Amino acid sequence: MTDALVPILAATLAAGTPLVFAALGELVVEKSGVLNLGVEGMMLCGALAGFAATVASGSAAVGALAGLAAGAAAALVFALLTLTLQANQVAAGLALSIFGVGLSAFAGKPFESVALPAPQPFALPALADLPLVGPVLFAQPPLVYLSWALFGLVSWFLYRTRPGLVLRAVGESPAVAHAIGYPVIGIRYLATLFGGAMAGVGGAYLSVSYTPMWAENMTAGRGWIALALVVFATWRPGRVLAGAYLFGGVTIAQFFAQGAGAAVASQLLSSLPYLATIGVLVLISRNPNVIRLNAPVSLGQSYHPDA
Partner 1 sequence: MSTRKWGAALIGAAALAVAGLAPAAQPLKIGFVYVSPVGDAGWTYQHDLARRALEKQYGDKIVTKYVENVPEGADAERVIRELAASGHELVFTTSFGYMNPTIKVAKSFPKVLFEHATGYKRAKNVGTYNARFYEGRYLAGIVAGKMSKSGTAGYVAAFPIPEVLQGINAFTRGMRSVNPKAQVRVVWVNSWYDPGREREAAMALISQGADVLMQHTDSTAPVQAAEEKGVYAIGYHSDMSKYGPKAHLTASTHDWTGFYGKLVGEALAGKAQPTNIWGGIRDGMVKMAPYNPAVPQDVRDLVAKAAADIAAGRLHPFGGPVKDQGGKERVPAGKFMPDDQLAVMDYYVEGVQGQLPKK
List residues binding partner 1 (CB under 8 A). Answer: 7, 11, 15, 18, 105, 112-113, 115, 118, 206, 210-213, 215-216, 218-220, 222, 251-252, 255-256, 258-267, 269-270
C-beta of 255: minimal distance to partner 1 in Å?
A: 4
Choose between 268 and 282: whose C-beta lies nearer to partner 1.
Answer: 268
C-beta of 42: minimal distance to partner 1 in Å?
A: 17
> Residue 212 and residue 100: Cα distance in Å, rounded?
20
> Residue 136 and residue 138: Cα distance in Å, rounded?
6
Choose between 258 and 301: whose C-beta lies nearer to partner 1.
Answer: 258
C-beta of 148: minimal distance to partner 1 in Å?
A: 20
- Residue 119 DSSP label: P
Choose between 260 and 307: whose C-beta lies nearer to partner 1.
Answer: 260
Choose between 172 and 216: whose C-beta lies nearer to partner 1.
Answer: 216
C-beta of 257: minimal distance to partner 1 in Å?
A: 9
Choose between 31 and 222: whose C-beta lies nearer to partner 1.
Answer: 222
Q: Are 299 and 33 in contact (CB under 8 A)?
A: yes
> Residue 303 and residue 113: Cα distance in Å, rounded?
45
C-beta of 265: minimal distance to partner 1 in Å?
A: 4
Helices 237-259, 142-160: crossing angle, 10 deg rounding: 150
C-beta of 214: minimal distance to partner 1 in Å?
A: 10
Choose between 78 and 205: whose C-beta lies nearer to partner 1.
Answer: 205
How many C-alpha atoms does 52 have within 13 Å on its Cβ side?
18
**Contacts with 261 (C-beta within 8 Å, 6 or more apart), sequence order:** none
C-beta of 262: minimal distance to partner 1 in Å?
A: 7
> Residue 197 and residue 231: Cα distance in Å, rounded?
20
CA angle 276/224/160 to nearest 5° reads 80
Residues linked to residue 194 through DSSP beta bridges, in sequence order: none
> Residue 181 and residue 71: Cα distance in Å, rounded?
30
CA angle 77/104/78 to nearest 5° reads 15
Choose between 65 and 252: whose C-beta lies nearer to partner 1.
Answer: 252
Question: SS3 helix, strand, coil % of the chain, rounded to 5?
Answer: 75, 0, 25
